[in-house]
Amino acid sequence: MDKKLQVFAVIRVDSEMASLEDAVTVKEILSDANEAEIEVERLNKLNAAKGARYFFQATRYFPNGRKSSLKGQTKIRLVK
């Protein structure tokens, strides 16, 4: 089984963006829910007038990748 850690993504949603892909940004990943909540409160106060809203979401981080679930899968090449 792949090693996984619970982490918390601080997410920004820009209400003025045309597409969902452009509107949503993962600002940072934190290891503590309380720290994520404090950062979200700080950012919402700081950026309220700019049309941005922040929230945090629990997620998983696989420090060594997802080796077991990727067996037999084709690698995806990212293009910039």
Q: Give 2-28 as a DSSP string.
A: ---EEEEEEEEEETT-SSHHHHEEEEE
Grouping H, G, I as helix, E, B as strand and the rest as coil, residue 61 is strand
Q: What does the block give as tokens for 64?
A: 């060594």
Average pLDDT (39-61) is 95
Specify the pLDDT at position 69. 62
The answer to whether residue 21 is domain-embedded is yes
User: How many structural domains are present in the chain?
Assistant: 1
Tell me phi and psi for residue 70, to 5 degrees: -105, 5
The answer to whether residue 32 is domain-embedded is yes
The answer to whether residue 80 is domain-embedded is no
Average pLDDT (53-63) is 96
The answer to whether residue 27 is domain-embedded is yes
pTM as predicted:
0.78
Range of the domain at 14: 5-70
